Chains A and B, each alone.
Chain A
Amino acid sequence: MSGTDKVQCLLCPFSCVLAPGERGTCRIRLNHGGELVSLVYGLPVAVHVDPVEKKPLFHFKPGSSTFSIACVGCNLGCRYCQNWEISQASPEDVPPVQLPPDEVVRAALDAGCSSVSYTYSEPVVWYEYMLDTARAAREAGLSNILVTAGYINEGPLRELAPYIDAANVDLKGSTDSFYRRMCFATIAPVLRCLQVLSETGVWLEVTNLIVPGWNDSEDDISSLCSTFTGLLGTSVPLHFSRFFPMYRLVDLAPTPVDTLVRARQAARDAGIDFVYVGNATTEGGETTTCPVCGAELVVRHGFSVETMRVSDGKCPDCSTPIPGVWD
């Protein structure tokens, strides 16, 4: 062999070059004797049945249960990570269970779920496990849901996208400097991920976690809405989520509810049709209304659906099509 046994990972934009024994920035992809191996394939550390609203997805099979799995690992290092105990852990830190793809599918079916969600940490970095599980789930008639920060190269994303039915992508801010300061990453790959998912027909919703002092000003919200509409138009649902002090930002207070309400209003003023508030109770912040006649179509409380009036994908009062997957 003439090489150095170094390898370069092409999964995400970091493109880590690894000598034997080294792991990527994600901590779970290891150069093992000149081959890149995943240390977490089939070894999730979190396995739950969740309401699909918890992802959050509000326009995808509302009221359904989704079988949610996560392995440790993430390629970002967001200071505010709400799941840092697993996303910022190494495989040795958190005891996993053995759950190969076919057993995920069997357990999901046994639990009465209509989908499998790859979620909680960053599924991009346990790509092979997610891809194999998504293929098996699709074959068994289950949908696949991706919850991600979208920091992935286009090639792997295009290989995965045909098996993904719905995605919630974190758009953490609207500027490169925010991504660099908060997440030690860059924004361009995330915007490209949003574009690719949108083009490939994956049902898409977007989440923005509003953090006091970091991305909560009027300018921040206005810039986010402008980036959002420029990229995705006005019919993709946008979720503003409340920050709670965690990981490296424990010195901050939770996001004031007023800030979330103002952000929602600003997004609606910017023309975005479906804007929601999460992790906080606000007037109408979880309700889907018809963008034409204003009728209340889906009323939610927390993660439960109380009223569901979308019929054949339309508003029953004025027949306006409501984007989403409603069956």
Chain B
Amino acid sequence: MILLVVMALLTGRDPVLDLIRDIPIVGDIISADSTSASAAKCLPAAADTALIGSLIRRGALSETRCLWFVPVPDERH
């Protein structure tokens, strides 16, 4: 327990998380080139389509065509 407290003080994060299976420490990325990400940092979760389009054009979000989808036919007759 003492060791955990010391680790927490030294690293500034909860060491218990390191001991739990398959949990990453969010933000602790070993290879960071976040230049593309700056515009995406502080947006609301419900960003609208225009905003998303703008982010995609600026390279802040990916625009990779997905596999595994189909167009839905027009149901109007």
Interface contact B37-A95, CB-CB below 8 Å: yes
- Decide yes or no whether B12 CB sits under 8 A from chain A: no
Q: Which residues of A contact B34 (CB under 8 A)?
A: 95-98
Contact of B49 among A21, A43, A95, A99 (CB under 8 A): A21
The range of chain B's interface size is 35 or more
Q: Which residues of B contact A95 (CB under 8 A)?
A: 27, 34, 37-38, 40-41
Interface contact B66-A38, CB-CB below 8 Å: yes
Q: Which chain A residues numbered 235 to 260 have a C-beta less than 8 Å away from chain B?
A: 239, 241, 244
Interface contact B19-A302, CB-CB below 8 Å: yes
Contact of B69 among A9, A97, A99 (CB under 8 A): A9
Dominant secondary structure of chain B at its interface with chain A: loop
**A49-57, A133-141, A262-270, A289-297: which lies at the interface:** A49-57
A179 → chain B, closest Cβ, in Å? 20
- Write the chain A residue with the least CB distance to B37: A95
Q: How many residues of A contact B (CB 8 A)?
A: 75
Q: Which residues of A contact B70 (CB under 8 A)?
A: 7-8, 10
Interface contact A7-B36, CB-CB below 8 Å: no
- Decide yes or no whether A45 CB sits under 8 A from chain B: yes
- Decide yes or no whether A224 CB sits under 8 A from chain B: no
Question: Can you list 19 contacts pairing A with B, beta carbon distance less than 8 Å?
Answer: A6-B71, A21-B48, A21-B49, A34-B71, A38-B64, A39-B56, A43-B37, A46-B29, A47-B29, A82-B20, A82-B23, A92-B43, A95-B41, A96-B36, A147-B22, A155-B68, A159-B67, A279-B21, A302-B19
> Residues of B with Cβ closer than 8 Å to A?
16, 19-38, 40-41, 43-45, 47-49, 52-53, 55-56, 61-75
**Assuming A30-B52, A32-B56, A147-B22, what are 13 further A-B pairs, CB within 8 angstroms?**
A5-B71, A38-B65, A39-B52, A43-B61, A46-B25, A46-B28, A48-B28, A48-B30, A56-B21, A82-B22, A92-B44, A156-B68, A244-B16
> Residues of A with Cβ closer than 8 Å to B?
2-11, 17, 20-21, 27, 29-30, 32, 34-50, 54-56, 68, 70, 82-83, 85-86, 89-99, 103, 107, 111, 119-120, 127-129, 131, 147, 153, 155-156, 159, 207, 239, 241, 244, 278-279, 302
